[in-house]
Structure 1
Amino acid sequence: MTPHVAVLIVAAGSGTRLGAGVPKAFARFAGATVLEHAVRGAFGVGRLVVVAPPESIDEARAIVEPIDPEAVVVGGGASRQASVAAGLAVLEPGIRIVLVHDAARALTPRQQLEAVASAVAETGAGVIPALPVSDTIKLVDGQTVLDTVDRSRLAAVQTPQGFPREPLDRAYAGATAEYTDDAALFAAAGGIVVTVEGSPLAFKITTAADLARAEQEAGDAVGATIRTGVGMDVHAYDAAEPLWLGGLYWPDEVGLSGHSDGDAMSHAICDALLSAAGLGDIGGKFGTDDPRFAGAHGDVFIRETVALVQGAGFEVGNVAVQLIANGPRLGARRVELEAHLSSLVGAPVSVSATTSDGLGFTGKGEGVAVIATALVTA
């Protein structure tokens, strides 16, 4: 999670045109609610704030908290603009970039949220994802065609729409009219807005036909994607430290140096999982400059990584790990080690070990290396 980014998910609409008999956020497709799909797609990008119908806050929390216990759920207002303002009001001071996202665009790829956040950081402008208009567009008066509009200068915009925090707050504080989207409000206050490429999957669920399309799109993806990832970590021995490896304590063994507990096996597993899900690496998610992870055990990193992978829409198939070192010897604790790691990952984990026949730093007994591979499905 990027600590200075917030994703504000607007889910307070009534969904009258959808005709589902419930607020749009609680309509279901592909085995989950619209809100659950949207939250899973945004989880891990930044601090999550969900704006729900005031009368359905408890129901929204029941959906959101199992995915992200730290997410904030607040009640919305009478209009979309009022709902966004309610979400902005609860953001913590350290947030510098805000992504305003419609829950109704429930299948928006995670990469689109990350691209918008990156573009805001790079440009300092408002950023909106957009697609070119492919249909011929006519200007009409009732049923009479008045003119053909040049579509080369038109774009269909989506969410999330990203903005630097302070000018967005000022724009909302000074708004005297209702705007159709946040970019229009931001621009009316003098902000510059630029575009990035959108995605066909980021379509808005408005009607029953849209919900059926979402069911189809999600169904097409089930079991259709198998991805693998590789992770590797090395740590030097440190006689002054206890040994933690694979989330277990190894008494009477030489420990490993590191910013956390030096658990090279857990770290390699995290890198493999993040690699498989296309989420970067452990250094980008849990950097050594973050004091929260000083001395943290491998269990913490694995649990957080699995949550990120699942939040990106993937399930872990299995993980294989190989330790390259002169010690410790795994034989007596292999079953315990595999059971512990499997419980953390939520999928089978197999562990093996080898030496490097006296070659290199592992062969000379200077440290350990661990290689992990992971398989995930979406």
Structure 2
Amino acid sequence: MSTHSGPRVAVVVVAAGSGTRLGAELPKAFVRLDGPTLLERSLYAVRGMRHAADAVLVVPAGRVEEASAIAVAVFGRPVSVVPGGATRQQSVAAGLAALADDVEVVLVHDAARALTPSRLFDAVVAAVAETGHGVIPGLPVSDTIKRVAADGTVHETVDRSALAAVQTPQGFPRDQLLAAYAAATTDETDDAGLIAAAGFAVTVVPGEALAFKITTPHDLQRAHDLIAPPSQPTTLPRIGLGTDTHAFDPSAELWLAGLHWPDEPGLSGHSDGDAACHAIVDALLGAAGLGDIGGIFGTGDPRFAGAHGEVFLTESRRLVEAAGLHIGNVSVQIIGQRPKFAPRRREAEELLSGILGAPVSIAATTTDGLGFTGRSEGIAVFATALLR
């Protein structure tokens, strides 16, 4: 919330430009940016300052009444609105003439810098109060700068370390700014130029990327892109969980995680009973919203009698990719007393990763003798799949 601690501050918002380069049929400050006008958005920043500030608006002569209504809507009270002059310097002078007598610090801001955040206004006020002289925000120049002749001939490369791209709001002690305007004999491109010409000090504080000037249609589109919500919601990863359990069948061969395990009791099931592959299939189908292994492959289809896990995994991958998704990774947890899985973990991970075209990690654990897995009656498997 705004406070009145510190010097009395006023912000002169310069909004008298024609908007010719913007290609608009009305003055630039009254062009709308996703609803509010550029002028309104500039006033939002003034309203949001921590330091209480009066606003003085300088607008085209035919827009005084409209601007006054905008200011009342933003601030909830009338503010000073004056017609501008033929040049920016004349417009600022008109705004300065409307300042209250007790204002000590003046900020001059271009309404065309409509996305400038309130924190930059506060930073400039604080710096003026601390230094006692003019303060302007600026950004380092990142492009290589060349000094060229009128015919385009390059004369030299300018040392950009000594350059800054200056912005608004620019802040000054009131008496210095008034003195500079009174002594002005030429038009300057900004108020800091007048201050420096009058012999007063000016320093630069860090500017804001959002304080860029909206001058061309490209600038207006850039501003729109910065504040407009995404046209589509962000697509999040999809996660599926699958589980499978099979009892041991000493008469069957053991297939687990795509590998054959000789001399180990097999797992009962219509196919090869590979609980790890079946759990992965359910995780993949679940993440893709395609159902489960029973719904896709059936529980007694003769085509899959004795089929190995690779068959189910390959078809599941095809279905997932046909749905416009691809597999990010799969994690598998095998629970059982046997077989001893660690010696073949890498072999199983490489095999399954190759089938799915994505990383597969496998861990195995026991239940310390508890439950049917602890009694070596079967194996349980949990799998998690992430799709993108």
Counterpart in the other structure of 1:55: 62
Provide the residue aligned with 1:85 in structure 2.
93
Q: Distance in 1 between matches of 2:3 and 2:146?
A: 43
Q: Could you say which residue in structure 2 is the equivalent of 1:149? A: 158
Q: 1:133 aligns with which of 127, 141, 162?
A: 141
Q: Which residue of 2 is the match for residue 341 of structure 1?
A: none
Q: Tell me, yes or no, if structure 1 residue 39 matches structure 2 residue 56.
A: no
Alpha-carbon distance between aligned partners in 2 of 1:17 and 1:83, rounded to the nearest angstrom: 19
Distance across 2 between alignment mates of 1:171 and 1:145? 35
Q: Separation in 2 of the partners of 1:26 and 1:47?
A: 21
- Give the alignment's TM-score, normalised by structure 2: 0.56
* Residue pair 1:127, 1:193 contacting (<8 A) in 2 also: yes
| Amino acid paired to 1:59 | E
Q: Residues of 1 paired with 2:48 and 2:208: CA distance?
A: 20
User: Is the counterpart of residue 117 in structure 1 residue 121 in structure 2?
Assistant: no
Contact 2:71 2:78 in 1 (8 A): no
Q: Are residue 28 (structure 1) and residue 32 (structure 2) matched?
A: yes
Distance in 2, Cα, partners of 1:78 & 1:26: 18
- 1:72 equivalent to 2:80? Answer yes
Alpha-carbon contact 1:2-1:47 (below 8 Å) kept: no
Equivalent position amino acid for 1:174 in 2 = A
Distance 2:154 2:12 in 1: 40
Aligned-pair CA distance for 1:7? 0.7
Q: Distance in 1 between matches of 2:156 and 2:69?
A: 50
Which string of whole-angstrom CA distances, capped at 9 and with x for unpartnered residues, describes residues 266-287 of structure 1? xxxxxxxxxxxxxxxxxxxxxx
Distance 1:27 1:186 in 2: 31
* Residue in structure 2 matched with residue 192 of structure 1 by the alignment: 201
Would you say 1:10 and 2:14 are equivalent positions?
Answer: yes
The one-letter code sitting in structure 1 at the alignment partner of 2:66 is: E
**1:1-378 alignment runs, 5 A limit:** 1-3=2-4, 4-45=8-49, 46-68=53-75, 69-141=77-149, 142-220=151-229
Query: Do 2:48 and 2:118's aligned partners in 1 also have CA atoms closer than 8 Å?
Result: no
Opposite residue 75 of structure 1, the aligned amino acid is P
For 1:167 and 1:33, the matched residues in 2 are separated by 32
Q: CA deviation at 1:44?
A: 4.9
Residue type of the alignment partner of 2:110: D
Using the alignment, how far apart are the partners of 1:5 and 1:70 within structure 2?
17
Contact 2:116 2:212 in 1 (8 A): yes
Moved segments of 4+, more than 3 Å: none
Computing the radius of gyration from Cα coordinates, the structure with the larger value is: 2
Residue 174 of structure 1, CA deviation? 1.6
Three-state SS of the structure 2 residue aligned to 1:32 is coil
Between the aligned partners of 2:139 and 2:163, the Cα distance in structure 1 is 9
> What is the alpha-carbon distance in structure 2 between the residues aligned to residue 107 and residue 86 of structure 1?
24
| TM-score with structure 1 setting the length | 0.57
How far has the Cα of 1:175 moved from its partner?
Answer: 1.0
Please provide the CA RMSD for this pair: 1.6
**1:65, 1:131 → 2: CA distance?**
33
The 2-side partners of 1:51 and 1:196 are apart by: 25
**Structure 1: runs of 5 or more not aligned:** 225-378
Following the alignment from structure 1 to structure 2, what is the Cα–Cα distance between the partners of residues 99 and 6?
6
Deviation at 1:70, TM superposition (A): 3.5
Q: How far 1:72 moved relative to its partner?
A: 1.1
Note closer, same or farther for the CA distance 1:220–1:190 as it changes in structure 2 (3 Å cut): farther
Query: Offset at 1:55?
Result: 1.3
Distance 2:59 2:32 in 1: 16
Aligned-partner Cα distance in 2 for 1:70–1:55: 18
CA–CA distance in structure 2, aligned partners of residues 96 and 53 of structure 1: 26
CA contact (8 A) 1:7 1:100 kept: yes
Distance in 2, Cα, partners of 1:123 & 1:15: 35
Identity %: 57
Check conservation: 2:17, 2:28, Cα contact below 8 A.
yes
Gaps of 5+ in 2: 234-388
Per-residue deviation at 1:71? 1.7
Look up the match of 1:308: none
1:304 equivalent in structure 2: none
Q: Which amino acid in 2 is paired with 1:203?
A: F
